[in-house]
Amino acid sequence: MTTRTRHPLQRAALTVTTALATIALIAGCASGIAPQASTGSDEPQEGGDITFLIDSLGATWIPNSSSISSYQGHVWGHVTDKLIYVDGEGELSPWVAESWEQNDAATEFTIHLKAGVTFSDGTPLDAAAVVANIDIWAKGAPDKGIARIGLFPSANYVGAEAVDDTTVKVTFSKATLSFIPTLAYHGSILISPETLALPAEEQADLSNDIGSGPFVVESWKEGDSVVLKKRDDYDWGPEALDHTGPAYLDSITYKIVAEPTLRTGSVQSGQADVAYNASPQELDALKDEGFFVSVPRYLGFVNGYALNVTAAPFGEEAVRQAFSHGIDRDEILSTVYTEDWHAAESFVQSNVPEATDHTDAFAYDPEESAQLLDDAGWVEGADGVREKDGQRLALTLYANPYLATSKAIDELVAQQLAEIGFKVDIEAYDVVTYGEKVINNKTLAATEITRSFVDIGTIPGVLTASNPGDEDWFKVGTSDATLNDLSAQVASATDRDSRAAVFDDLQQYVLEKGYFVPITQIVQRVYVQTPDLHDVTYNGLAYANYYTAWADR
Amino acid sequence: MKSPYARFALSRTAQAVVVVLLAYVFTFIVISVLPGDPVSSTLKSPDSGFTQDDIDRIIAYYGLDEPLLTQLWTALTRFLIGDFGISLRSNLPVSQLIAEALPSTLILATTALIVAIILAALIAWGTQVLPGEYGQGLLRALPSLFLSVPNFVIGLLLIQVFAFGLGLFRIIDAESPWSTFFAAVALGIPVSAQLAEVLIANLDHESRQEYVAVARSQGLRRTRLFARHLVKPSALPTITVLALIVGELLGGSLITETIFGRTGIGTLVQRAVASQDLPVLQAVVSLAAVVFVVVNLIADLAYPLLDPRVSLEHSLRSRDSDPTTEQPIRTTLQEEVSVI
């Protein structure tokens, strides 16, 4: 029974979606309650309970393993605080850390904490607690089965110490400009040291995970829901949010509803307040009905392909460039997405502070593509696929199961590239198989990228293989001296201004070489919300924050 | 000295234990053949950015780098002392996950069974007592209609109309009485179709018997005939089907639970399959095997009580000594499990 379920299940899920169109027709009578216009008051009101419908609440609640998840991150964002806040433009500002400074070499950082911050069990959030947290982010506890936080600059981490009750000093072996921004990352949540000392199976019980956030866990049921209630003595929210004291809302309920149309249907019929991850195609209709749609972008890489220079046909620069210029991104935006999505301008999202516009380096130009391939000796065969020395110009794209629109994009790309002589096949796997066959597979010609980060200091580690643990996306290793040099300059920079200048060159170089082929800026978190919920904020990782929100009802 | 009952019960229990153990080992083998494990699939998610080194160390902690036989042995010895282990996915004790999920599924399955029985009985009753065009045409077509409409379509329709349209229940209060009722209707409709078909076939068969003709000729009304003479003999094979339906309810609960936002054994299995969470899968498969075995045992025991022609003595003797004697209609446990 169990082992057969996977594929029928997936089929069922597909069929559910297609069947819904029919059902919408049959049940046309059931369009539900029309949203009411706000009663007009701009003054925040105390009280109110909201329900947030989400596709999943991920795997486990062990803080280190789950806080970077796109699902559990919502709950953590309300139950815990961070040292630093990052807004949608990548701007850093004080939160639990009142201020911070660094030495000229960017290897030593001193963080000054707000006094009087407490965890919800009453214990102080002091320097010792921060040291315990930084240590577990950097190293994890592998002997307890607890991983470190991905994207934390662990490789250079030397240690953290409590100078006094409110001062923490953190040391790295090399310049690590990305450290301070990483403190605002959704993985870097402050948890009570007592929780961190628990064994994995007790940390996995969310009710044991004590944070200092504006909400506390009232109850939870694994795989079903989490209920948060307001903490009345909270008074240390991010300064940037311009709100002091406790939250306005009394409670937030996160409830799993796996089927996307049921999530939006619940909000449409007034049974829930927020539906997470609606499909782009639904959004325009929902807006027309008066619902509020948010598609905040996170700081990170754009959605695109990393091309493997050691795999045919991408060993040739001309082929990579032809591939890049052969993709009509406007058609993808207008076909797969709505006007809320933006064209990529570089290989990082345009809200990353150091991002600059390099659109020309990968602009759609099929004639240019054809010319490049002609010059490189790729001749069109009888079936329209180009060939050279008996090799066909063929590759396979693997749709990214973490991005719902990935397969549709790959299909369009395949069509567009077929016109200039590429033969593109598409394979779509579930998350587990994808992890096994695609991620870390060094032989694939192209790998689709969607990844968030808070600071470009993380980027050199994916572009080359200069250090152990580097991801080497394009498999160039250290063979490209220019790429090496530019990456090393970004990695070892000691101030953000000089780094931004080098990063501009690096973006142009990577795109011109056709190593990274951007498609669109990514929106991985889509919120459909009732209009009577006001002042929701979105941080730099595109998470909705209800600390400042209030309900007008 | 052993009574035939004790012998019967003992042999059935032994069979049950073997079936449960085999199901356990079988699940292990099948899941182990599949690629990946929940730990590395979580760590490999593109947002996490771990190196292969990190992944290897965590996997070593969970013993997932051990040879398969060692892993099987660990799991099996734990299982035999009643320890289901820790879920690889959620890191919570498997027994806790099952204890949280089971009540919801039991309530749903029981309600669905009641809905199915009532619905099937009504349809079957209608085919016997209603005038031709309704009883023979419309009602007899219902079971095949129920079977051909997928479970989730019924579920989504019920939600659109009764939850979103009429506001009778809310998706987010998935365990509320109305919510449970409509989920049970969605799950019970296909099941009722099978029950109704068997019941109708048997009622038709019985109504062609001579005693019915005699009763009719004495002027007995249709409803009385149905209640007095037809129901009991027709119910016998229906009970066999009922026992099989329990398996169907467990399987069908998956889609119903997902759609109605309930968290039960079905959703637990779904998540465990998607992430290859072996300890959870093994526990659930064993649990399903236990439920199935117990339900069939009950059906086995109930059968002779309802039909004196099928005695326990007869059933035992016929298998032990005299193969030429007419076999009881009731199939044995092994046959049923092998069919699934």
The per-residue pLDDT for A180 is: 95
Residue A114 gets which letter from DSSP? P
Residues of A within 8 A of B175 (CB-CB) are none
> Which residues in chain B have their CB less than 8 angstroms from residue A269's CB?
163-165, 167
Which residues, at least 6 apart from B78, have a Cβ–Cβ distance to it below 8 Å?
B84, B85
Question: Is B216 a residue whose pLDDT tops 80?
Answer: no
Distance CA(A446)–CA(A473), nearest Å, equals: 10
Which tops the pLDDT comparison, B6 or B63? Answer: B63
B309-333 b/e with 16+ CB inside 10 Å = b? ebbbebbbebeeeeeeeeebebbeb
Whether residue A27 and residue B161 make contact (CB cut-off 8 A), yes or no, is yes
In this structure, what token pair is assigned to residue B49? 């950015």
Chain A interface, mutation test: which of B48, B56, B65, B255, most A Cβ atoms within 10 Å? B48
Cβ contact (<8 Å) for A12 and B275? no
Q: What is the pLDDT of residue A25?
A: 39
- Mean pLDDT computed over B176-190: 93
The 10s digit of each residue's pLDDT in B218-267 is: 777 777 777 767 777 766 777 777 777 877 787 778 889 988 989 899 88
> In sequence order, what DSSP letters do the residues of A473-524 get, joined into one string?
TTS-TT--HHHHHHHHHHHH-SSHHHHHHHHHHHHHHHHHTTSEEEEE----
| Residues 6 or more apart in contact with residue B29 via CB below 8 angstroms | none
Number of cross-chain residue pairs from A and B with Cβ atoms under 8 Å apart: 217
Using the predicted structure, report yes or no on whether residue B137 has a pLDDT greater than 90: no
List residues bridging with A518 in a β-sheet: A304
Q: pTM value?
A: 0.85
**Is the pLDDT assigned to residue B314 strictly greater than 70?**
no
When pLDDT is cut at 50, 70 and 90, the band that residue A149 belongs to is confident
The complex scores an ipTM of 0.79
Q: Do A147 and B54 touch (CB under 8 A)?
A: yes
User: A61 — contact with chain B (CB < 8 Å)?
Assistant: yes
The residue of chain B nearest to residue A298, with distances taken between CA atoms, is B47
Specify the higher pLDDT residue, B37 or A304.
A304
Backbone angles phi, psi at A435, to 5 degrees: -60, -35
In angstroms, the CA B65 to CA A449 distance is 28
Q: Which of B27, B156, B273 sits opposite A20 (nearest CB)?
A: B156
Task: Band the pLDDT of B317: cuts 50, 70, 90.
Answer: very low
pLDDT category of residue A469 using cuts at 50, 70 and 90:
confident
Lowest mean pLDDT: which of A90-99, B45-54, B103-112, B288-297?
B45-54
* Predicted pLDDT of residue B61: 81
pLDDT score for A21:
41
pLDDT at A193 over 50: yes
Residue A220 in contact with residue A192, Cβ under 8 Å?
no
Flag whether residue A16 sits within 8 Å of chain B, measured between CB atoms: yes
Q: Provide the pLDDT for residue A20.
A: 45
- pLDDT above 50 (res A298): yes
Mean pLDDT of chain A: 90
pLDDT number for residue A540: 93
Buried b or exposed e, range A453-481, using 16+ CB within 10 angstroms: bbbbbbbbbbbbbbeeebbbbbbbeeebe
Residue B319 has pLDDT above 50, yes or no: no
| pLDDT, tens digit (0-9, with 9 covering 90-100), for A254-291 | 999 988 999 999 999 999 999 999 989 899 999 999 99
Judging contacts by C-beta atoms under 8 Å, the chain A residues touching residue B284 are 2
Contact A384, A417 (CB under 8 A): no
**Environment class of residue A229 by beta-carbon count within 10 Å: exposed (0-12), middle (13-18) or buried (19+)?**
middle
Residue B150 contacts A, CB cutoff 8 Å: yes
pLDDT computed for residue B48 by the predictor: 63
> Using an 8 Å Cβ cutoff, are B175 and B262 in contact?
yes
Of the partner residues B172, B275, B288, the one whose CB lies closest to the CB of residue A1 = B288
| Interval B49-80: pLDDT, tens | 676 777 787 788 878 888 888 888 888 888 88
Band of the pLDDT at A377, cuts 50, 70, 90? very high
Backbone angles phi and psi of A75, in degrees to 5: -65, -45
Our CA-based measurement puts residue B92 at a distance from the nearest CA of chain A, in whole angstroms, of 5
A492-549: per-residue pLDDT in tens? 999 999 999 999 999 999 999 999 999 999 998 999 999 999 999 999 999 999 999 9
Residue B326 has pLDDT above 60, yes or no: no
Nearest to A3 among B27, B153, B164 (CB): B27
Which residues on B lie below 8 Å from A7 (Cβ)? none
CA A459 to chain centre: 15
CB-based contact, A268 to chain B, within 8 Å: yes
Tokens of B53: 């080194």
Asked if B288 is an interface residue toward chain A (Cβ–Cβ < 8 A), one would say yes
Q: Taking residues A5-34, report their average pLDDT.
A: 42
pLDDT in tens, A305-324: 999 999 989 999 999 999 99
| Nearest-angstrom CA–CA distance, A459 and A445 | 21
